Amino acid sequence: MLTLSPGATPLAALETLWRQGLPARLDPAARPGVESAADRVRDAAEGAAAVYGVNTGFGKLASVKIAPGDTATLQRNLILSHCCGVGEPLDPATTRLMMALKLLSLGRGASGTRWEVIALIEGMLAANVTPVVPAQGSVGASGDLAPLAHMTAVMIGAGEAIHAGRRLPGAEALAAAGLTPVTLGPKEGLGLINGTQFSTALALAGLFDGWRNLQAALFTSCLSTDAIMGSTAPLEAEIHALRGHRGQIEVAEAMRALMAGSQIRESHREGDARVQDPYCIRCQPQVAGAAVDLLRFAATTLETEANAVTDNPLVVGAGILSGGNFHAEPVAFAADIIALALAEIGAIAQRRVALMVDPTLSHDLPPFLTPDPGLNSGYMIAEVTTAALMSENKHLAHPCSTDSTPTSANQEDHVSMAAHGARRLLRMNANLSVILGVEALCAAQGIDFRAPLRTAPRLQAGIDALRAQAPTLDQDRYLAPEIEAAAGLVRDGVLARAAGLEFAL
C-alpha closest to that of 108 among 203, 41, 35:
35
Q: Which of 52, 279, 379, 478 is catalytic?
A: 52
Instruction: Report the alpha-carbon distance of residue 348 to residue 333 in Å, rounded.
Output: 23
Amino acid at 22: L
Q: How many CB atoms lie within 10 A of CB 414?
A: 13
Across the chain, how many H-helices and E-strands are there? 20, 9
Answer yes or no: are the C-beta atoms of 147 and 84 closer than 8 Å.
no
Instruction: Report the alpha-carbon distance of residue 189 to residue 54 in Å, rounded.
Output: 10
Phi, psi (deg, nearest 5) at residue 87: 95, -175
Instruction: Report the alpha-carbon distance of residue 267 to residue 30 in Å, rounded.
Output: 62
Amino acid at 81: S
Find residue 161's DSSP bridge partners. Answer: 131, 168
Exposure string for 258-281, b = 16+ CB within 10 A, e = fewer:
bbeebebbeeeeeeeeeeebeebb
3-class DSSP state of 368? helix
Half-sphere exposure of 392 (CA within 13 A, CB side): 17
Torsion of CA 23, 27, 31, 37, to 10 degrees: -90
Q: What is the number of residues in the chain?
A: 505
3-class DSSP state of 303? helix
Phi, psi (deg, nearest 5) at residue 14: -70, -35
3-state secondary structure labels for all residues of 7-59: CCCCHHHHHHHHHHCCCEEECHHHHHHHHHHHHHHHHHHHCCCCCCCCCECCH
Q: 52 catalytic, yes or no?
A: yes
Residues assigned a catalytic role: 52
